[in-house]
Structure 1
Amino acid sequence: MKSIKIRRISGTILYHGFIWIFGFFMIYPILWLVASSFKDEVEIFQKSYSLIPSSLQFDNYVQGWKGFGGITFGTFFKNSFVIVILSTIGQVASSALVAYGFARIKFVGQKVLFGCMIVTMLLPSQVLMIPQYILFSKLGWVNSFKPLVVPSYFGYPFFIFLMMQFMEGIPRELDEAARIDGCNQWGIFFRILLPLIRPAMITSAIFSFYWKWQDFFGPLLYIKKPNLYPVSLALKLFSDPAAVTDWGAMFAMSTLSLVPVFIIFVMCQKYIVEGISTTGLKG
């Protein structure tokens, strides 16, 4: 018994030791980014491996926040929040509505439309770039937030599929009971299913927030005015091959750009696990 207990303790120590070491290597780039935001440029490159600054350079944050051409990083953060919040609301709301139609309403051509939706998940985004740009250019939406926000209000295939699977786990007897009580299709959706699929909706909102916040190519393609740049695009302005790159300020603003993502993850991580782990379970 004693030897078995010793083996269990040894196994536990080895397991947790491996997890700590592996976890450290996983987050080392982020730790290095945060540490470098407090270093001067000489120290960043001379002691690139070190995570402890010799002295804290808060001036990196001051200089970085000043931005470029009179446009502060407050403007860039505001632009990012406008794009992300509007897009997230659109994607989650429209995807929930489309998922309800596929999961609970029978109509002609349902399987064909569902198959087309699944196929769109397989299309590389590069295939759609030119047609979308031509369309938005003819509509006069270039140099605005519209190409980044408006398409979100027509559903997102991954979120539709996620919510559909979640709805399939909800007993249909609830729908029948609601109909007996006088609810129509809209009443069933808003009063019965919408509250029950909240974990899937929150999971979709978190993913939408992450993907839109870090989106670089979309703003690069459609936005040309610096005062409309989101944070992801504004960070590129620090790197200028024709001039001196302010690495300290770049790392400082990059660190600040991680704060909203970190806060969202800490506050909502239980919903991510619940939304994914319960998806596909049948009632």
Structure 2
Amino acid sequence: MATQLMTPPRPVAVRRTARRGGPAGRVVRVLIVLVLLCLVLYPLAWMVGNSLKSPTEIASNTGLLPKHWTWGNYHDGWFGLPTVTFGRFFLNSLIVSLGVVVANVASCLVTAYAFARLRFPLRKLWFAVMIGTLLMPNHVLVIPQYILFRHLNWINTPLPLIVPKLLATEAFFVFLIVQFMRGIPRDLDEAARLDGCSPYGVFRHVMFPLVRPALVTTAIFSFIWTWNDFFSQLIYLNDLPKKTVPVGLRMFMDATGQVSLGPMFAMAVVSLLPVFFFFAAFQRMLVEGINTSGLKG
């Protein structure tokens, strides 16, 4: 009798719907995501709106949309600086950013392969030392590096910004790739060695094709961080035609503190486009690289 009165278990789909709150719960979650999205995108929309306002309206109109559309800010920002256009800054930033991307990917990949797959004396100690460098503030090294690069006559050239990356100085990216490689079964290495591959052959034909998501992640972060870097580029690049986009935006403020707000906002919007397109082109591989590199919560 007790068996007949027992309520049959509900299907799995029904239980999941009950836990999630049904259609009302989904609507609430969507609304929360939309609110958070608006909060995140509001500063960007405010900057785009200010790029289309006149200087007086920027000070008086705090809304997103301008009352009078001033498209001339983009022309003034691109051609408004003396002796050089803003396109020159774009070219300089592109050279530095791509150079850093290539240097970081190549050096960090080789270093990570050594830590993850090779056996050499004090390997764990050197790996711990490398991780420890993440705790060191970059500003501690500014003066010694500047003195070294000055003796090498590299000041006012892109070399101080690119060449150090060839030495795998970015410990974060080395750790990222090491974690990715540790998730690859060692059976693949053994199979390659049985087929006659040397350590270089294993690296070239086995590891390199499998770690591409981690390499794309390294490339994207390297590009974004270098493109937005202001401090290092301000120190090592002195002449106006050699400056990059972040330093070029500072040129809209003169020595008296007067700021050309409209053109500055316009060029700030334009400077975001390369980062946006670079991220959008490799977004899927970026997410895959992070999710499979031991960085999940």
Normalised TM-score (structure 2): 0.90
Residue 252 of structure 1: aligned partner = 266
User: After alignment, is 71-80 or 121-130 more displaced?
Assistant: 121-130
Q: Which of the residues 167, 174, 185 maps onto 2:181?
A: 167
Residue 182 (structure 1) shift = 1.7
Q: Which of the residues 199, 207, 212 maps onto 1:193?
A: 207
User: After alignment, is 50-59 or 6-15 more displaced?
Assistant: 6-15
Residue 126 of structure 1: aligned partner = 139
Alpha-carbon distance in structure 1 between the residues aligned to 2:153 and 2:285: 39
Q: Deviations over 1:130-164 (max 9, x none)?
A: 11111111111111111101011111211111101
User: After alignment, is 248-257 or 258-267 more displaced?
Assistant: 258-267
User: After alignment, is 9-18 or 149-158 more displaced?
Assistant: 9-18
Question: Is residue 147 of structure 2 the alignment partner of residue 107 of structure 1?
Answer: no
Q: What 5-or-longer segments of structure 1 have no aligned partner? A: none
Q: Which of the residues 71, 78, 102 maps onto 2:84?
A: 71
Q: Where does 1:1-283 land on structure 2 (aligned, <5 Å)?
A: 7-48=21-62, 50-155=63-168, 156-242=170-256, 244-280=258-294
Alpha-carbon distance in structure 2 between the residues aligned to 1:236 and 1:130: 23
- Contact 2:20 2:26 (8 Å CA) reproduced: no
Q: Deviations over 1:208-251 (max 9, x none)?
A: 01100000000111111111100010000102251632111000
Alpha-carbon distance in structure 2 between the residues aligned to 1:108 and 1:6: 54
Residue 8 (structure 1) shift = 2.6
- SS of the residue 2:251 aligns to: helix
Residue 9 (structure 1) shift = 2.5
Q: Deviations over 1:23-76 (max 9, x none)?
A: 11111111110111111111111112x111223212101010014221101110
Residue 280 (structure 1) shift = 3.0
Alpha-carbon distance in structure 2 between the residues aligned to 1:165 and 1:5: 35
Once superposed, what is the RMSD of the aligned Cα atoms?
1.8
Normalised TM-score (structure 1): 0.94
The one-letter code of the counterpart of 1:71 is V
Alpha-carbon distance in structure 1 between the residues aligned to 2:234 and 2:250: 10
Alpha-carbon distance in structure 2 between the residues aligned to 1:102 and 1:6: 44
Q: What 5-or-longer segments of structure 2 have no aligned partner? A: 1-13
Q: Deviations over 1:157-194 (max 9, x none)?
A: 11111101111111111111111222111111111100
Residue 255 (structure 1) shift = 0.2
Alpha-carbon distance in structure 2 between the residues aligned to 1:21 and 1:229: 39
Alpha-carbon distance in structure 1 between the residues aligned to 2:273 and 2:104: 23
Identity within the alignment, %: 42
User: After alignment, is 137-146 or 195-204 more displaced?
Assistant: 137-146
Aligned residues: 279
Alpha-carbon distance in structure 1 between the residues aligned to 2:232 and 2:258: 27
